[in-house]
Structure 1
Amino acid sequence: MTVGETAHRGAWTMEDRAENVLRGLPVDVPPGTAALHVTLAYARGAGGVLDLGLLGPEGEFRGWSGGARDRFTVTEEWATPGYLPGPLAPGTWQVLLRLHRVPPDGLGYEVRARTSGRTPPSPTPVLPDPLPRDGRRPRRDLPAADGMRWYAGDLHAHTEHSDGSLTLDALARRAAGEGLDFLAVTDHNTVSHHPWLPAAGARQGITLLPGQEVTTDLGHANVFGDTGWIDFRTGAGAWLSQAESAGGFLSVNHPLADDCAWELPFGDRRPRHAEIWHHTWTDRRHGAPLAWAGAWRPDVIPLGGSDFHTPEQGRPPGAPTTWVLAEEGALLSGLRAGRTAISAGPDAPLLLRYADELLALGAEGTVLVRPDGSRAVIRDPRTWLPGGEGLHRLETHTCEVIALCA
């Protein structure tokens, strides 16, 4: 039984975007609504991009899919990935649009919202088989330290809950196959994936960390931890405060990356964590990310992430690999404390810190570069060296960075 339908039609202009990049379109949800269906139509080939989301009658977050979807359904029992299931309280809801790209001649659009008193059947999930034991890349044998050990992981990945192509299980299976111990799932501007992470990780033999990539036109930041939804409409300083007050932490993402480089102010306090190593660092002979890190904070904590979206991109989870020294079950604590290292992959040359010593593994023929610029040549596959405070790195003879260590 159909309860009602709302339609919005028009054309956005460059002036509209300049005035306010976010636009809410009202939708009346009457009593007795069991399902809300929304569709967005616009000329995608005309150079325009509209992002899509949903707010409840009190302005509460109910979902975001950015430019990845043109339709979604929300019911009390289930919702399209990226959106939150739950009661559909009567009142005026808002279909949220972000005018991400509007061409000079404008961008026509149509939004249709249909409410129904009947709950449609939930889509049946298709789960891949659990990864067999012999399907995992062997773990490296690394020295433990004070009841802690090194864990290999990836801190930036997307699923069908935003603009990735894989389900949570499929992504977890792929990451486990690469030999990773953990993976942070950081879908854009949503936390709809968080409730499903523990079960998917358990099925595939990998720890899935809750994350979200707070995404705006002026910069992206990952928030790690079960913090609740971070409102991307507020300022970066508010993201940082909300993340920390909820027990999580924030990292600036790919600060030098193309059209999503970091351009936002934090006020009087900057976060220590930063995604120094991202796939957009295509030529690691160029030191721009390291120069940015040194200018950002002298005590920066380096992180790395593959920014995995689809297998077709050719970047598997763990490229690069972030290593964390942590107690069992305390990965977020180890990350928060800055016990991190980064390598090009799970089996690539590695530089690890043990208190005031560094261990270079599989790095013979490379050079250790200390924060003060002094250098030491690595000649053996397993080499211990003294280490001071700050960011250390391994370079090849061509000055290509192959490993980082906080």
Structure 2
Amino acid sequence: MTAIRGAWTLDDRIRGPVREVPVELPPGTAAVTVRLSYDRSAGTLDLGCSGPGGFRGWSGGARSEFTIGPMWATPGYLPGEIEPGVWSVLLGLYRVPAEGLPYEISVIPHRRPPAMPRDHPVAGVRVPRVQHREPAASRRGLPGLEGLRWLAGDLHAHTTHSDGSLGVHELACLAADRGLDFLAVTDHNTVSHHAELAAASALAGLLLVPGQEVTTDLGHANAYGDIGWVDFRTGPDEWAKTVRERGGVLSVNHPVAVDCAWRHPWAAERPRVAELWHWSWWDRTWGAPLAWGQAWAEDVVVVGGGDFHRPEEGHPPGAPTTWVLADPAAGAEGVVAAVAEGRTAVSAAPDGPLLLRHGDEFLAIDADGLVLWGPETRAVVRGERAAFPAGPGTHRLETPANEVMALCT
């Protein structure tokens, strides 16, 4: 075992939020365990790892220990052969007090791979009983359009591969039971969960969209698509370039959400997609998210994110619900393409009032008495289903008290 001790200072954090601590692993190492110890009441250190062959995982502040072996790894990390040579323990200096934060890293090489923990996701899936509901679009009688149909889902959720409490299979079953058609799994700064998506999707009967939440001190962004890992250490201009070149979509997350608000500068062209409706927008008479979106881009594509982490928080997947007009035969790629092309809408829940841009019309569903607002539109909705000529820009349904009930790109 190798023990590395030190102390991070506030100056260290200012100079760079992610630091690399080199560790040499000798030939013949079959697996490695890393343990991080520090006073969690005094600060917060994020944890990750890279090897000679590249990035191997990230668990942020959710874990203080991980193991990587040839056949299995702690959720958040990628299994595979342990290359001999210099590895780096990645430490994110998320919160460092003025007096400094002492730490200790223990590195334990294994000559034989340790046994897989009994509660590891690969060792056996523990899932709730699923009572599959009819897909939201058919349940609500929503029309199709030129071979496309409306799908209800959530574009932001976490599992045990980062700081969530449910495994991928458990989360998929929970989302299916909510009546969702798709769910993007967006664990922080890792893609280790992608290996479980196909099996969990088949089990739960809904589309699981590969994603990752690129997470930094100055803001978060979701990268959608099977595009490989995006290096969160480089900056948003590089994220956008990487995601675009690999055929994915980048979304700015919860841009006005307390300490996770978007504060990154942007030198190149801004991405159009923005998670304006985040679960934390609990007072929807507060206009800051819409004002931010209007200032961000004239053609902003509005999406929502439940940002699910654990059931006890009280906001399940689909709160809010993002709707996409997609090719149902295209699977997860169809969902990503619909977001990229701006065929989106957001409602408070799968069965909440809904506003859709459907061809040349707006369709207001279950919205009797609400007010349709847009750059050039003012109308009161009469009846449970109403149609209006579609105008340019983001539109919304509000109560007479100005509470936002639905958004439409």
> What is the aligned partner in structure 2 of residue 52 from structure 1?
47
> What is the aligned partner in structure 2 of residue 343 from structure 1?
347
> What is the aligned partner in structure 2 of residue 117 from structure 1?
111
Deviation at 1:139, TM superposition (A): 3.2
| 1:258 lines up with 2:253 in the alignment | no
> Could you list the runs of 5+ residues in structure 2 that have no partner in the other structure?
118-122
Deviation at 1:54, TM superposition (A): 0.1
| 1:11 lines up with 2:7 in the alignment | yes
1:275-330 CA distance string (max 9 Å, x none): 01002212111111111111100100000010000001000100000000011122
Root mean square deviation, CA, Å: 1.3
Question: Letter of the aligned partner of 1:20 in structure 2?
Answer: G
> What is the aligned partner in structure 1 of residue 81 from structure 2?
87
> What is the aligned partner in structure 1 of residue 208 from structure 2?
208
Deviation at 1:355, TM superposition (A): 1.4
Deviation at 1:266, TM superposition (A): 2.4
Note closer, same or farther for the CA distance 1:311–1:135 as it changes in structure 2 (3 Å cut). farther
Question: Letter of the aligned partner of 1:11 in structure 2?
Answer: A
Deviation at 1:360, TM superposition (A): 0.2
Q: Say whether the 8 Å CA contact 2:133–2:178 is kept in structure 1.
A: no
Note closer, same or farther for the CA distance 1:21–1:320 as it changes in structure 2 (3 Å cut). same
| 1:283 lines up with 2:277 in the alignment | no
> What is the aligned partner in structure 1 of residue 310 from structure 2?
310
> What is the aligned partner in structure 2 of residue 382 from structure 1?
385
Between the aligned residues of both structures, percent identity stands at 58
Question: Letter of the aligned partner of 2:400 in structure 1?
Answer: H
Deviation at 1:128, TM superposition (A): 1.5
Within-5 A mapping of 1:5-404:
5-46=1-42, 48-58=43-53, 60-123=54-117, 124-128=123-127, 131-133=130-132, 139-328=139-328, 329=330, 330-372=334-376, 374-404=377-407
State the number of aligned residues: 399
> In 1, Cα distance between the equivalents of 2:304 and 2:385?
23
**TM-score, structure 1 length as denominator?**
0.96
Q: Say whether the 8 Å CA contact 2:135–2:181 is kept in structure 1.
A: no
1:124-165 CA distance string (max 9 Å, x none): 233315624469888322111111110000000000000000
Question: Letter of the aligned partner of 2:390 in structure 1?
Answer: G
**TM-score, structure 2 length as denominator?**
0.95
Note closer, same or farther for the CA distance 1:135–1:390 as it changes in structure 2 (3 Å cut). closer
Question: Letter of the aligned partner of 2:308 in structure 1?
Answer: F
> In 2, Cα distance between the equivalents of 1:104 and 1:349?
49
SS of 2:192's partner is coil
> In 2, Cα distance between the equivalents of 1:21 and 1:221?
17
Note closer, same or farther for the CA distance 1:295–1:52 as it changes in structure 2 (3 Å cut). same
SS of 1:193's partner is helix
> In 1, Cα distance between the equivalents of 2:128 and 2:351?
26
Deviation at 1:236, TM superposition (A): 0.3
Note closer, same or farther for the CA distance 1:263–1:133 as it changes in structure 2 (3 Å cut). closer
SS of 1:398's partner is coil
> In 2, Cα distance between the equivalents of 1:358 and 1:7?
63
1:230-288 CA distance string (max 9 Å, x none): 00010101100100111101000000010111011221300000001002212111111
Q: Say whether the 8 Å CA contact 2:371–2:397 is kept in structure 1.
A: yes
SS of 1:379's partner is coil
Moved more, 150-159 or 115-124: 115-124
> Could you list the runs of 5+ residues in structure 1 that have no partner in the other structure?
none
